[in-house]
C-alpha cells in the first residue's frame, strides 16, 4: 500500500526497516491530547476565517472529539505504518467522518504541528514540575522551622568547618529549589509563543489568523519567524537544562542523605518506607530511594546532552533528526518528577538524630573561627594574627587529644598571655551558632525567620 498522506507520488510501500527507523508513534502517542487540542484550535480558526465551511469544521471538531474518546478509553489502534501521532489521528478522523477530514490540514504542516505539540507538552509538564518543586520546598521549610536550632556540623571539603543547624542546612536546598523553579518559569515565558501556522517552513498563502490560534491555545503571541518556528527546539533544551540543574541539586541532597544515614554519620534516620533491607546482611538499611535520585540524574543530564548534539549540526529548518527530541524530553522530565516526589517523601520521613549531630558539631575544632573572632573583637588583634594564635592553640589541643574548651586558661595564655577567662564563652557550639547573626547566617533566630518567610511565600497561590 502506498501512503495515504502522500500517496500521490509514491507507488510502493516503505521497506520494513525504513518503517522501523522512521516511525515515532511508539513514543509520540504521548502527545495525543496536545495534538487534538492543536487541531481543534486550528479548525476553529479555519472556520472563523472562512477557509473551511462551518459545517465541515463542525464535522471535523466532532470527529476529533470521538478520536480523543477512543484514545482515552484505550480502543484506538495505533498503527506504525502511519508513522506518528499526527497521521494516526488524521487517518482515524478520515475513517470516522470521510472527506471533510482532508480539509483539517489546510494551512499547516506536520512541521508546525509537531513543534506545537511538543511546546504544549513541555509547557504543561513544566507547570506540573513547578507545583512539585514548591511541595518539596514546603516539606523542607517545615522541617527547617522545626529544627532551626538543631546543631550539626557545617562542612567544607567534607571536613568539619563550623557548627551550623539542621534547619539552616535544609533551607540552603529551599533556596536552590527556588532558583530551579524560577529557571523553569523563565523557560516557560520564552517558550510561550505559538508556532502553529508556520506551516512547512514559510508560512501559508491562506488567510489564517495566527493570533486567534495562539490565544486559544494559551500562548502570549504567535512566533514571528516561520523558519525559526519549525526549525528550533531551544524551548525543549531550556526545559532540559533547568531539569538538569534541578536534578543535580536533588542528587547532591540525595548524596547527603546517603552519607547521613550511614552508621558512621548517623545524622538522620529513614523509616522502612524509604529504605530496603539486604537479602544477606540482616543489619542493613539501604537508602535506595536516595541512591536512585542520585543515579537517575545521569539520565536527565544525558537527555540534555543528547538533544544538544542532535541539534548542533542541523541546517535550517526542520530535519527528521528533530524527531529524536521526544524520548529524551519525555524521559528526563518524568524522571525529574519522580525524583522530586521521592525526595519530598524522604524529607517528610526523615528523623534527625539531634544528639549525634550536635556531638559531631564539636568535633574537629569547629569553633576555632569563634576563638579567632574573639581575639579580634576583644584584643583588637588583626585577623591574620588571630588566625596564627588560634592555629597554635588548636595544635596544642590536638597534641593533647582534647577539645578547645578542655584546655586550661593557663595553657591558652602560654600561647598568648592576653587571653582571659571570657574566651570560654565562645568555644561551645551553641554559642558559636547563636552568634552568627549576620544576614543569611546560621543563627537559629535567622533560620526561623527565613523558614517563615519561605512558608509564607510558598502558601501564596501563584498568579
Residues at the contact surface with ligand ARG, assessed by CB under 6 A: 24, 28, 84, 110-111, 114, 318, 320, 322-323
CB 260 within 8 A of CB 353: no
CB atoms within 10 A of CB 252: 16
- In whole angstroms, give the CA distance from residue 257 to residue 351: 11
Q: How far is the CB of 21 from ligand ARG (least distance, A)?
A: 12
How many CA atoms within 13 Å lie on the side-chain side of 109? 18
Nearer to ligand ARG, 114 or 342 (CB): 114
Residue 205: active-site member: no
The SS3 assignment for 77 reads coil
Work out how close the CB of 5 gets to ligand ARG at its nearest, in angstroms, rounded to a whole number: 10
Torsion of CA 233, 234, 239, 242, to 10 degrees: 150
Query: For the purposes of burial, counting CB atoms within 10 Å of the CB of 195, is it exposed (0-12), middle (13-18) or buried (19 or more)?
Result: buried
Q: 3-class DSSP state for residue 105?
A: coil
Q: CA 401 to CA 394: how far, in whole Å?
A: 10
> What is the smallest separation between the CB atom of 325 and ligand ARG, expressed in angstroms?
8
Query: Contact, 404 vs 394, CB < 8 A?
Result: yes
Please say which residue, 119 or 294, places its beta carbon nearer to ligand ARG. Answer: 119
The smaller minimum CB distance to ligand ARG, of residues 24 and 381, is found at 24
CA 182, chain centre distance (Å): 10
Q: Are 165 and 147 in contact (CB under 8 A)?
A: yes
Angle 125-332-158 (CA atoms, 0-180°, nearest 5)? 115
CA distance 74 to 263: 50
Q: Is 278 part of the annotated catalytic residue set?
A: yes
Could you write out the DSSP letters of every residue in 119-136?
HHHHHHHHHHHHHHHHHH
Closest distance to ligand ARG from the beta carbon of 326 (Å): 6
Q: Which of 12, 73, 157, 408 is catalytic?
A: 157
119 burial type by CB count under 10 A (0-12 exposed, 13-18 middle, 19+ buried): buried
Which H or E run includes 194?
Answer: strand 193-194
93: left (phi over 0), alpha (psi -120 to 50) or beta: alpha
Options 2, 55, 182, 278, the catalytic residue:
278
Task: Output 201 or 379, the one with its CB closest to ligand ARG.
Answer: 201
| Buried b or exposed e, range 79-105, using 16+ CB within 10 angstroms | eeebbbbbbbbbbbbbebbeebbebbb
What is the smallest separation between the CB atom of 322 and ligand ARG, expressed in angstroms?
A: 5
CB-nearer residue toward ligand ARG: 201 or 341: 201
The dihedral of CA 444, 446, 451, 456: what is its sign?
Answer: positive
Complex with ligand ARG: residue 312 or 463, whichever CB lies closer: 312
Distance of closest approach, residue 320 Cβ to ligand ARG, in angstroms: 6
Instruction: Give 323 or 344: the residue with its C-beta nearer to ligand ARG.
Output: 323
Taking the complex as a whole, the smallest distance from the CB of residue 115 to ligand ARG amounts, in Å, to 9
Shortest Cβ 109–ligand ARG spacing (Å):
7
Helices then strands, each counted (H, E), the chain? 18, 6
List, by residue number, the catalytic residues: 157, 278
Amino acid at each position: 500500500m502506498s501512503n495515504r498522506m502522500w500517496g500521490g507520488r509514491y507507488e510502493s510501500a516503505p521497506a520494513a526497516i525504513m518503517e522501523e527507523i522512521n516511525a515515532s508513534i511508539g513514543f509520540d502517542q504521548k502527545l495525543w491530547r496536545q495534538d487534538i487540542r492543536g487541531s481543534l484550535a486550528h479548525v476553529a480558526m479555519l472556520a472563523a476565517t472562512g477557509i473551511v465551511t462551518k459545517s465541515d469544521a463542525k464535522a471535523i471538531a466532532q470527529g476529533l472529539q470521538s478520536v480523543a474518546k477512543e484514545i482515552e478509553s484505550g480502543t484506538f489502534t495505533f498503527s506504525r505504518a502511519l508513522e506518528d501521532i499526527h497521521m494516526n489521528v488524521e487517518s482515524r478522523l478520515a475513517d470516522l467522518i470521510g472527506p471533510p477530514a482532508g480539509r483539517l490540514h489546510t494551512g499547516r504542516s506536520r512541521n508546525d504541528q509537531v513543534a506545537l505539540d511538543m511546546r504544549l507538552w513541555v509547557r504543561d509538564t513544566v507547570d506540573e514540575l513547578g507545583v512539585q518543586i514548591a511541595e518539596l520546598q514546603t516539606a523542607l521549610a517545615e522541617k527547617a522551622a522545626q529544627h532551626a536550632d538543631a546543631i550539626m556540623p557545617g562542612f567544607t571539603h567534607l571536613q568539619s568547618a563550623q557548627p551550623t543547624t539542621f534547619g539552616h542546612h535544609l533551607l540552603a536546598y529551599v533556596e536552590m529549589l527556588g532558583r530551579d523553579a524560577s529557571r523553569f518559569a523563565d523557560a516557560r515565558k520564552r517558550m510561550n509563543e505559538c508556532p502553529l501556522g508556520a506551516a512547512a517552513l514559510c508560512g501559508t498563502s491562506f488567510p489564517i489568523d495566527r493570533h486567534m490560534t495562539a490565544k486559544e491555545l494559551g500562548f502570549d503571541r504567535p512566533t514571528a519567524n516561520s523558519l525559526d518556528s519549525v526549525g528550533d527546539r531551544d524551548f525543549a533544551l531550556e526545559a532540559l537544562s533547568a531539569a538538569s540543574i534541578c536534578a543535580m541539586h536533588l542528587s547532591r541532597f540525595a548524596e547527603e542523605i546517603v552519607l547521613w544515614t550511614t552508621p558512621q554519620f548517623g545524622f538522620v534516620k529513614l523509616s522502612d518506607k524509604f529504605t530496603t533491607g539486604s537479602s544477606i546482611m540482616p543489619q542493613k538499611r539501604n537508602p535506595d530511594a536516595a541512591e536512585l535520585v542520585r543515579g537517575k540524574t545521569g539520565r536527565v543530564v544525558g537527555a540534555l546532552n543528547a538533544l544538544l548534539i542532535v541539534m548542533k549540526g542541523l541546517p535550517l529548518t526542520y530535519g527528521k533528526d528533530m524527531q529524536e527530541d521526544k524520548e529524551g524530553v519525555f524521559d528526563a522530565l518524568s524522571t525529574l518528577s519522580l525524583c522530586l516526589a521521592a525526595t519530598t517523601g524522604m524529607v517528610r520521613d526523615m528523623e534527625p538524630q539531634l544528639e549525634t549531630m550536635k556531638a559531631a558539631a564539636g568535633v574537629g575544632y569547629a569553633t576555632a573561627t569563634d576563638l579567632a573572632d574573639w581575639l579580634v573583637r576583644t584584643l583588637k588583634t588583626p585577623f591574620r594574627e588571630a588566625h596564627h594564635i588560634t592555629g597554635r592553640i588548636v595544635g596544642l589541643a590536638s597534641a593533647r587529644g582534647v577539645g578547645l574548651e578542655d584546655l586550661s586558661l593557663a595553657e591558652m595564655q602560654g600561647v598568648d598571655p592576653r587571653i582571659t577567662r571570657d574566651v570560654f564563652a565562645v568555644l561551645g557550639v551553641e554559642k558559636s551558632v547563636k552568634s552568627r547573626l549576620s544576614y543569611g547566617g546560621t543563627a537559629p533566630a535567622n533560620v526561623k525567620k527565613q523558614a517563615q518567610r519561605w512558608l509564607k511565600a510558598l502558601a501564596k497561590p501563584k498568579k
